A = this chain, B = another copy of it.
Amino acid sequence: MGRLNDWDNFAELDFEREERCGFPEVIYGAGKTPDQVAGIMKALVEKHDRVLCTRANSEQAKAARRVVNDVNFVESCGVLYVDQRPEGLRIKGTIAEEILDDASGLGSGYIIVCCAGTSDLPVAQEAALTACIMGSNVGLLTDVGIAGVHRVLSHEKELRKARAIVAVAGMEGALPSLVAGLVDVPVVAVPTSVGYGASFGGIAALLGMLNSCASGVSVVNIDNGFGAGVIAHRINVPPERFNA
């Protein structure tokens, strides 16, 4: 129960989240003060080897760096994270691009995050980083919009070897339909708010994706790269109990 005189001290961290859901609680940076973000990261990093904060800004990153070691901040997509896993598992500053040449050696497959235009890139990056830090290998495919269909087709081989695909697009949002017609694994579609006029902040893309004529497409909220990354990872890497 909250009290009037300590209303600002409300965040109750859920340290059991990892056990229940396979990953520690993720911080949603938007609307939090730099000190709040830093404080929560500090508390989480004491119990977990990874901490993830989405929709972060550089002020929050600065504050976090003052109290936590090894903080990474990818400004282009607002992702702030700590990754203290052993080297080899850890994110290497490269989103697994080598996977795409030869996927044969990978036990649990990989994810491809693809996006239509460069304006969609921040959302795609959020999805890719989220899946990476959760433990998936991820390849990122940019600038494969439907208006130049040969671009996506030139990657058909890599797409068909992925265990899950995240397709990110604004405007008419047709990329997921195009990709889902090429593969036999789930496609997680992310509409973005990219566009103007009758794109209505992503509604056009959202509706397009919900009405995909291709089977195997499901959709998350507008600009929700994080959510798509979580789902793709859960498809790609089953909980341990399925591996026995």
User: Contact residues of A with B, CB < 8 Å?
Assistant: 1-5, 7-8, 10-12, 14, 20-22, 26, 30-31, 74, 76, 91-95, 97, 100, 109, 116-119, 121, 125, 129, 139-143, 145-149, 153, 161, 163, 171-174, 177-178, 180-186, 188, 191, 193, 195-224, 226-228, 230-231, 234-235, 238-239, 241-242
Contact = CB atoms under 8 A, between A and B. Distances in A.
A121 B5 contact: no
Q: Which 7 A-B pairs have the closest CB atoms?
A: A197-B222, A174-B174, A218-B218, A147-B214, A204-B207, A147-B181, A172-B208
A135 B119 CA distance: 29
B208 A174 contact: yes
A56 B45 CA distance: 38
Contact of A7 (B92, B121, B234): B121
Contact of A198 (B148, B207, B234): B207
Nearest to A1: B97
A22 B205 CA distance: 27
A211 B186 CA distance: 21
A121 to B, nearest CB: 6
A158 B204 CA distance: 30
6 contacts: A1-B100, A2-B141, A3-B140, A149-B182, A172-B209, A197-B224
A182 B191 CA distance: 24
Contacts of A203: 198, 207
Among A4, A118, A178, A208, the one with the most B-chain Cβ atoms within 10 Å of its Cβ is A4
Contacts of A193: 197
Contact of A118 (B11, B145, B210, B217): B11
Contacts of A76: 7-8
A140 B173 CA distance: 26
B178 A146 contact: yes
Contact of A186 (B92, B147, B231): B231
A207 B174 CA distance: 12
A49 to B, nearest CB: 18
A31 B163 CA distance: 34
Contacts of A5: 93-94
